[in-house]
Chains A and B, each alone.
Chain A
Amino acid sequence: MASEAVTITLSVNGEVTTQAVEPRTHLADLLRMRLGLTGTHLGCEHGVCGACTVFVDGATARACLVLAVQADGAVVETIEGLTDAADPTLAALQGAFVARNALQCGFCTPGLLATAVEFLREVTTPSRADIRERISGNYCRCTGYHAIVDAIEDAAARLAGRGPT
């Protein structure tokens, strides 16, 4: 049931915003409905599909499993912010996703990219099996995952200065 709004202040994509939110509002709804950041998608709202994956304080999180009030004081980064900031890891992944056709409908893509960005910041030379393991928390219903693995492999190679394989 509805209850009194709580005022929170957080940084989203480098801009500080103060919002009055119901305690039951999750971060994804705050991003989408209040801030117009519709690149964060909702696929299941119970933390399984990964479509809503964003960065909270530098680590990936399911925006549907984080209440907005929990993000009070947090630094949140979404696909829009990382794109506009020309994050080099993301840029390499975006280029590879387009070149390899690693997306079809594109609904899962922002969440997948967030997971892949975090992965490639940690691991420079992943095997295909490593990649498959790491992105298993992000569901894709259109592709066969094969092209996504290709694209992440290519991006890793480019970031390591090896060029696409």
Chain B
Amino acid sequence: MDPLGAIDRPNSYIGRSVPRPNARRLVEGRGQFTDDLPSPPRTVHVAFLRSPYAHARILGIDLDAARALPGVVLVATGADIATVCSPWVGVLTHFAGLKSAPQHPLAIDRAVWLGEPIVAVVAATRALAEDAIDLIRIDYEELPAVTDIDAALAPGAPVIHSALGDNLAFQLRLENGAVDDAFAAAHAVVEDEFVFNRHTAVTLEARTILADYDASENRLTVHQSTQTPYQMQDVYARHFSIPEANVRVVARDIGGSFGMKLHVYGDEMATVALSIMLRRPVKFVADRLESFVADIHTRAHRVRARMAVAADGTITAMAVDDTTGIGPYSAYPRTSAVEGNQAVRLMGGPYAHRAYRGTLKVVFQNKAMMSQYRAVGHPIACAVTESLVDRAAAAVGIDAIEMRRRNLLTDDVYPYTSPTGYVFERLSHHQCLDALERACDYASLRREQQTLREQGVFRGIGLAVFIEITSPGPAFYGVGGAHITAQDGCVMQLDPSGAVRVQVSVTEQGQGTEAIMAQIAASAVGVPMEHVRVVTGDTETTPYGGATWASRGAAIGGEAVLITGRVLRQQLLDLAAAILQAQPETLDIADGLIVDATDGRERLSVAELARIAHFRPDTLPPGVQPQLAAARNHVPRGQAFAFTNGIQASHVEVDIETGFVRLLGHWVVEDCGRLINPLLVDEQIRGGVVQGIGGALFEECIYSPEGQLLNATLADYLVPMAGEMPDIHVSHVTTPTLHSQLGAKGAGEAGTAGAAAAVLNAVNDALAPLGARLTEIPLTPQRILTALGQIQRQSQ
């Protein structure tokens, strides 16, 4: 029997491109984003005065004029907020040696980054609160800002947190095999320094929170634009000393998150504190400027990397040295060490060499905090590795695709433990490579490239093989002491109408979580998808779970729904058997009907079964107790992560006069295990690709040496627009994991993991005949023209 059993039948929804049931209300403007919700009575609004300096001592604060403004309810400093909110420290024990300093919601005595909140003003309206902020006078003593990562580590550098001794938050060294010997024996060694500039998530819906504390019951209700309601419930309970059972966190529609909306932010914690202090609802909506200076940033890395290659093209060793700047604190509760840790562990991951050395330094600096964002560490590892693979191929005179074919892990090695300790259950590199070569018609692109070069047109083709970390188990956070669960829960019940109600802990930010859970539930129970109602995003009405991040929703939440659905299905079959005086195993459920298992003849509808169970149990045989609800949990136990893989290709044309890059096409072949809804997966992959392209070509948080963020508006910070993006062709190879019944792995990071590397390689391929090469992204026209020698290198 197929391991999927009932869900792999012809009427299964698994693998079908069905539209999302919750899309209709969004296209009609009936979304329920947090700022759209009706405000409870007595709601007031908070705005924050933020530090105009990257590093400054606060000598005095004059609040009198602000407090006197009509409509102002409360003006609170960091010290005031600290009376109700305990500080946090962004460390976890499994990152040995990771250090950070206690962080309060608002700065006390000293501000350590431009944009750190210092004073909160609560008023009848947001506009009034901002008026009052203009009346606050703060006396600052500007302190030396540490912004450059090398300067931060230099002897005698100003130490941001003196109690920590230095600005080195964390370091790591990994080594496997005889690395130095391999480099000494190499036919060729290629070496580069790569710079990845900071960018940020730019969710179109900014962070939003509405906190409502009811002192009469010591009860806190928080509506919040967050990916992780249960994690936030725990955070609020512990830092505000409220019993966890009295804290409710509700996340209705989320206007983009991408890993940005699962960190603890001082302004949001202050909003909760103010609600407790005022005993009334307080709302905070970040504006776009606040989002740029206060959301986490990402991907600030400088990587020096080398690769050794034999004369036949065999890669024999790789060594990398990654330094990453994380701002003044390690983020809470997940830390800012995960990004660098994953970057150095994923380097070289797709390839068969065993000799590897990776070192990592995680550095404090006076810039906005940096932490997890979509495809944590992946784009760094992929760009460094794939760029060096192209250089190694050139060094031995082998075509880029052939170079990968010779070096990728072969199909016979699995399960495989990488030199950095990752265990790959089964990857499909060679199938993906072959599929990609066909999808983009690689040979034709190469021929066209050659022809056009002779006409002075410079096109390039860039490849990027990637590995994606999905579905993390308890080893990811829980073992380090974080209250971040790796399990997900599902409660499923049969309503009197025969509808199936699914309450599940994974959350929806547009990936299609609710659609996918409905597909799985409908398939597992045997009812039409229209009869399934999915409830997510509320700690009061859904079971506890990790929610949606790290590409875990479909794989872990989906498995929880599948096994719960099977339990409910069996309960319904048992009840139907009692009514029909038959054996349960002779019956089946299909399309909402109880049928004979052998010939499919209808015996009873599920709706009729539900009616009898709820309203006429007196008609049941003696002693029968209808069981109409089931609950199950699932946590990955067999492996630390479910690794997936894929490959991308980018086709570009570079205008060597202007330095502009035109994207002509982009292809992705990826393997996320069992595909539940290709329509949703394809566009999620494409969205990831576009975010990766943003990092490759446009997105950069530009800081001055003093730590001023120079482009904190959406007019100055560039994000990809439709007109600049190519069609993105997605196809799939399917290697289900055998560690679950569903077989799904994750897909959320795949697009972002490899896109920047593919574009970087494509641009360098285009420029190769001109002797120019870039190793810093984003690949701005200025950087391209500088590499071409058209303009002088600037000092910055």
With a cutoff of 8 Å between Cβ atoms, the chain A residues found around residue B682 in the complex are 147
With a cutoff of 8 Å between Cβ atoms, the chain B residues found around residue A113 in the complex are 27
Check A105–B254 contact: CB distance below 8 A.
yes
Check A143–B683 contact: CB distance below 8 A.
yes
Residues of B within 8 A of A (CB): 19-20, 23-24, 26-31, 33, 35-36, 71, 127-128, 131, 134, 201-206, 253-258, 287-288, 509-512, 679-680, 682-691, 713-715, 719-725, 727-728, 751
Check A135–B722 contact: CB distance below 8 A.
yes
CA distance A132 to B408 in the complex (A): 37
Question: Does chain B have a CB within 8 A of A123?
Answer: no
Given contacts A46-B715, A107-B205, A108-B204, contact A147 B683 (CB under 8 A): yes
CA distance A106 to B24 in the complex (A): 10
Interface string of A33-72 (1 = CB under 8 A from B): 0000111111111101101000000000000000000000
Q: How far is the CB of A74 from chain B (nearest CB, A)?
A: 19
Across the interface, A147 reaches (CB within 8 A) one of B31, B128, B686, namely: B686
Q: How far is the CB of B740 from chain A (nearest CB, A)?
A: 25
Question: Does chain B have a CB within 8 A of A6?
Answer: no
With a cutoff of 8 Å between Cβ atoms, the chain A residues found around residue B28 in the complex are 39, 79-80, 83, 94
CA distance A107 to B691 in the complex (A): 17
Check A144–B714 contact: CB distance below 8 A.
no
Check A142–B510 contact: CB distance below 8 A.
yes
Across the interface, B30 reaches (CB within 8 A) one of A25, A39, A139, namely: A39
Check A148–B722 contact: CB distance below 8 A.
yes
CA distance A79 to B511 in the complex (A): 23
Question: Does chain B have a CB within 8 A of A22?
Answer: yes
Check B687–A2 contact: CB distance below 8 A.
no
Q: How far is the CB of B718 from chain A (nearest CB, A)?
A: 10
**CB-nearest residue of chain B relative to A144?**
B686
CA distance A48 to B715 in the complex (A): 6
CA distance A149 to B686 in the complex (A): 13
**CB-nearest residue of chain B relative to A94?**
B27
Classify the interface of chain A: helix, strand, loop or mixed: loop
CA distance A109 to B257 in the complex (A): 16
With a cutoff of 8 Å between Cβ atoms, the chain A residues found around residue B686 in the complex are 143-147
Given contacts A106-B27, A107-B255, A128-B727, 18 further A-B contacts (CB under 8 A): A1-B134, A41-B204, A43-B714, A46-B713, A98-B19, A99-B19, A104-B511, A104-B512, A104-B687, A106-B255, A106-B510, A107-B33, A107-B203, A141-B202, A141-B203, A142-B687, A144-B686, A145-B722
CA distance A142 to B374 in the complex (A): 11
CA distance A16 to B31 in the complex (A): 25
Question: Does chain B have a CB within 8 A of A121?
Answer: no
Check A141–B719 contact: CB distance below 8 A.
yes
Across the interface, A144 reaches (CB within 8 A) one of B36, B128, B689, namely: B689
Interface residues of A in 60-118 (CB under 8 A from B): 78-80, 83, 93-94, 97-110, 113
Give 7 CB contacts A-B under 8 Å: A32-B36, A46-B288, A80-B30, A101-B19, A107-B204, A141-B719, A143-B686
Interface string of A9-35 (1 = CB under 8 A from B): 000000000000010110000001000
With a cutoff of 8 Å between Cβ atoms, the chain B residues found around residue A141 in the complex are 201-204, 256, 258, 687, 691, 719
Check A44–B510 contact: CB distance below 8 A.
no
CA distance A89 to B254 in the complex (A): 27
Top 7 closest A-B pairs, CB basis? A39-B29, A144-B686, A104-B510, A106-B26, A107-B255, A79-B29, A105-B510
Given contacts A39-B28, A40-B29, A144-B751, contact A101 B715 (CB under 8 A): no
Check B725–A144 contact: CB distance below 8 A.
yes
Check B204–A105 contact: CB distance below 8 A.
yes
Check B256–A105 contact: CB distance below 8 A.
yes
Check B725–A22 contact: CB distance below 8 A.
no
Given contacts A136-B721, A141-B691, contact A43 B510 (CB under 8 A): no
Q: How far is the CB of A109 from chain B (nearest CB, A)?
A: 6
Question: Does chain B have a CB within 8 A of A4?
Answer: no
**CB-nearest residue of chain A relative to B693?**
A144
Q: How far is the CB of A165 from chain B (nearest CB, A)?
A: 14
Check B288–A107 contact: CB distance below 8 A.
no
Q: How far is the CB of A105 from chain B (nearest CB, A)?
A: 4
With a cutoff of 8 Å between Cβ atoms, the chain A residues found around residue B728 in the complex are 144, 146
Check A110–B29 contact: CB distance below 8 A.
yes
Check B29–A1 contact: CB distance below 8 A.
no
**CB-nearest residue of chain A relative to B291?**
A44
Question: Does chain B have a CB within 8 A of A133?
Answer: yes
Q: How far is the CB of A17 from chain B (nearest CB, A)?
A: 18
Given contacts A41-B33, A41-B204, A43-B205, contact A101 B714 (CB under 8 A): no
CA distance A14 to B722 in the complex (A): 32
CA distance A49 to B691 in the complex (A): 16
A25, A101, A108: which has the most chain B beta carbons within 10 Å?
A101
Across the interface, B683 reaches (CB within 8 A) one of A25, A42, A43, A104, namely: A104
Check B204–A43 contact: CB distance below 8 A.
yes
Check A43–B288 contact: CB distance below 8 A.
yes
CA distance A83 to B28 in the complex (A): 6
Check A51–B127 contact: CB distance below 8 A.
no
Given contacts A41-B204, A110-B29, contact A98 B20 (CB under 8 A): yes
Check A101–B205 contact: CB distance below 8 A.
no
Q: How far is the CB of B378 from chain A (nearest CB, A)?
A: 17
CA distance A105 to B512 in the complex (A): 9
CA distance A102 to B762 in the complex (A): 28
B686, B689, B751: which has the most chain A beta carbons within 10 Å?
B686
With a cutoff of 8 Å between Cβ atoms, the chain B residues found around residue A48 in the complex are 713-715
With a cutoff of 8 Å between Cβ atoms, the chain B residues found around residue A1 in the complex are 131, 134
CA distance A42 to B286 in the complex (A): 11
With a cutoff of 8 Å between Cβ atoms, the chain A residues found around residue B714 in the complex are 43-44, 46, 48-49, 139
Check B722–A136 contact: CB distance below 8 A.
yes
Across the interface, B29 reaches (CB within 8 A) one of A78, A100, A133, namely: A78
Q: How far is the CB of B214 from chain A (nearest CB, A)?
A: 24
